Amino acid sequence: MATTKISKHISYKEGVRSDTATRNRIRNEPDEKQLAAMKELAKKVFEPLRTHFNEPIRINSFFRSVALNKRIGGSGTSQHCKGEAVDIDATNGITNKQLFDYIKDNLEFDQLIWEFGTTKNPDWVHVSYKTSKPNRNMVLKAVKGGNPVYQVITPGKVIEEEEETPREKKKSRKGVVAVKTKLNVRKKPSKEAKVVGQLKNSKKIKIISENNGWYQIKTSKYSGWVSNKYVKVK
Ligand SMILES: [Zn+2]
């Protein structure tokens, strides 16, 4: 089973990856039914989204076994435990809001969650898809300190609490922009790549990954790549 791909752009490894599981030696392998649910979600939601934007979309968390979900403070009934939910993050100049809006307006889903963040952009997007029951096309927003935290924003629906768990902490670093003029944020790690934004000197940024002299970064406004020559890492 370990060699099965979830879909064209999702490897099995990406589908089950979890730092918490690795660290705590928690088994995180879907059974056949859960794997089938993951494949269906990938086919109906992830791949159409991937095709539309034609850019990589990061899988933050897909399948989580009950033991793993409990370990990160969630319940055993989360749709992640059934292989029916995935947490995704945009890359290469696409924003999470764009992912969220495209799913909301074009695709069938069970629950779509704007996960925290600001009014302009969520920290990440949670989306679920059910194969067994009708999909509810329910849109929710996670509000820090909200009561309940998950609030239904589909018009005409009452507010109710939903099962979700905090995202696992990723190892990102903090940096500060150090330039005389402005620092270009590019779509890809190359001087020839399209500029998607500019950052001022001393702007604080989050460094997600590194590639050949470039940092993949994130600010409240942009995600993309900057030359590492102009960033001081804290
Ligand atoms: Zn989620």
Domain boundaries, the chain: 12-152, 173-233
Ligand 1 centroid to Cα of residue 79, in Å, is 8
Q: What is the pLDDT of residue 160?
A: 43
Mean pLDDT, rounded, for 82-91: 95
Tell me how far the alpha carbon of residue 87 lies from the centroid of ligand 1, in angstroms: 5
> Rounded to the nearest whole angstrom, what is the distance from the C-alpha of residue 86 to the centroid of ligand 1?
6
Q: Is 71 left (phi over 0), alpha (psi -120 to 50) or beta?
A: alpha
Which band of pLDDT confidence, cut at 50, 70 and 90, is reported for residue 162? very low
pTM comes to 0.67
Measured in Å, residue 162 CA sits from the centre of ligand 1 at 11
Mean pLDDT, residues 71-92 taken together: 91
**CA–centroid distance, residue 2 to ligand 1 (Å):** 23
| pLDDT for residue 169 is more than 70 | no
> Does position 172 have pLDDT exceeding 80, yes or no?
no
What is the tens place of the pLDDT at every residue in 97-150? 999 999 999 999 999 999 999 889 999 999 999 988 889 999 999 887 777 777
How far the first Cα of the chain sits from its last, in Å, is 42
Other CB atoms closer than 10 Å to residue 38's CB: what's the count?
27
β-bridge mates for residue 174, sequence order: 206
pLDDT of residue 166: 52
| Residue range 12-152, CATH number | 3.30.1380.10
Q: How far is the CA of 202 from the centre of ligand 1 (A)?
A: 33
For the cut 80, the answer to whether the pLDDT of residue 67 exceeds it is: yes
pLDDT at 96 over 60: yes
173-233 classified as CATH 2.30.30.40: yes
Q: Which distant-in-sequence residues (6+ apart) come within 8 Å of 87 by Cβ?
A: 59, 60, 61, 62, 80, 115, 124, 125, 126, 167
How many other C-beta atoms can be found within 10 angstroms of the C-beta atom of residue 206? 16
CA–centroid distance, 88 to ligand 1, in Å, is 8
Q: Mean of the per-residue pLDDT values for the chain? A: 87
Distance 80 CA to ligand 1 centre (A): 7
